[in-house]
Structure 1
Amino acid sequence: MEAAIVAPAVVVMVLIVVLGGRIQSAGGVVDAAARAGARAASLERGGTQAQKDAARIAVQAVLAGEHVDCPAELEPVQVGSGPDGLQTVTVVVDCTVQFDRLTLRWVPGSAKLHGQFTSVVDRHRGTG
């Protein structure tokens, strides 16, 4: 009799822990996508538009490769100056993940995930 009362509560707690782990894992993928986008933009030889395109392609490739199904909002690639006058590229990825895509189909809600990374532009990459 006690098992009939406790078992549903234990199952719910396990599902909450699994959901938390899946959210954490998806957050890591969003961070990896931002890193890949910043690195791709920093290696791009073209101008700012080419850097943005390279970042977008890299971000989408990482998200698709890790099966994170979310519409990623890639903020414009920011080019700035870092320490010692080095040029930097910053990529910010915001992604809203629906819980029903991470676990069971009937779980309502969503989580907003954020990833940001700054990479130093490779000064030996050449131009043209």
Structure 2
Amino acid sequence: MSIRTRLRSARQDPRRDRGSYALETAILAPAMISLLLLMIAFGRVIDADGAVDSAARAAARAASLERDAGTAQSAAQAAADRSLQGEGITCTASSVDIDTGGFSLDLGVDATVQATIACTANLSDIGLPGLPGAKTLTASWSSPIDTYRGRG
């Protein structure tokens, strides 16, 4: 059989490819949708991780600007809350831990304030099987206290 005869017979029999597009779609669509949902989940985790890091930085900076440990704690908590709300991140559970031990050191001694923030980001609304329902993200940041500024 010549090539010309084979091409002619293939053109004349359109039933050979019937249903192949439906089969390809049925196989590829769930895989593509799962890949898209996985990309959305990773994007949300990366976005929330950056927001938690930014909130830890803001909390440490706000605490280091205060003169005593009590007001440093409240200023850091408020700064962390503002930062997370400004980024649009809603944590199902969050904690702000401020180490204000540097305020008890004498003047002239280098001291720092460290802020550690933990935020549990919700992933259950994505609905991808095998994906955890939540991920806890943690970030720490330290900020220096002015060496020669009065401390209470």
| Pairwise TM-score range, normalised by the shorter structure | 0.7 to 0.9
- 2:83 aligns with one of 56, 62, 65: 62
Q: Tell me, what secondary structure is at the counterpart of 2:101?
A: strand
User: How far did 1:33 drift?
Assistant: 0.2
Equivalent residue number for residue 13 of structure 1:
35
Give TM-score, length-normalised by structure 1. Answer: 0.84
Equivalent residue number for residue 51 of structure 2:
29
1:119 and 2:143 equivalent? yes
User: Is the Cα–Cα contact under 8 Å of residues 76 and 98 in structure 2 kept in the other structure?
Assistant: no
Q: Tell me, what secondary structure is at the counterpart of 1:21?
A: helix
CA deviation profile, 1:54-92 (whole Å, cap 9, x unmatched): 1000000001111110132012434348xx941100000
Give TM-score, length-normalised by structure 2. Answer: 0.71
User: Is the Cα–Cα contact under 8 Å of residues 119 and 137 in structure 2 kept in the other structure?
Assistant: yes
What is the aligned-residue RMSD (CA, Å)?
A: 2.2
Identity of aligned residues (%): 37
Q: Which letter does structure 2 place at the counterpart of 1:23?
A: V
For residues 37 and 125 of structure 1, what CA distance do their matches in structure 2 show?
19
User: Is the Cα–Cα contact under 8 Å of residues 74 and 93 in structure 1 kept in the other structure?
Assistant: yes
For residues 151 and 99 of structure 2, what CA distance do their matches in structure 1 show?
19
For residues 55 and 25 of structure 2, what CA distance do their matches in structure 1 show?
44
Bigger radius of gyration among the two: 2
Which structure is richer in relative contact order (CA contacts within 8 A, separation 6 or more)? 1
The gaps in structure 2 that reach 5 residues or longer are: 1-22
Equivalent residue number for residue 51 of structure 1:
72
User: How far did 1:8 drift?
Assistant: 1.2
For residues 65 and 77 of structure 1, what CA distance do their matches in structure 2 show?
24
Equivalent residue number for residue 98 of structure 1:
122
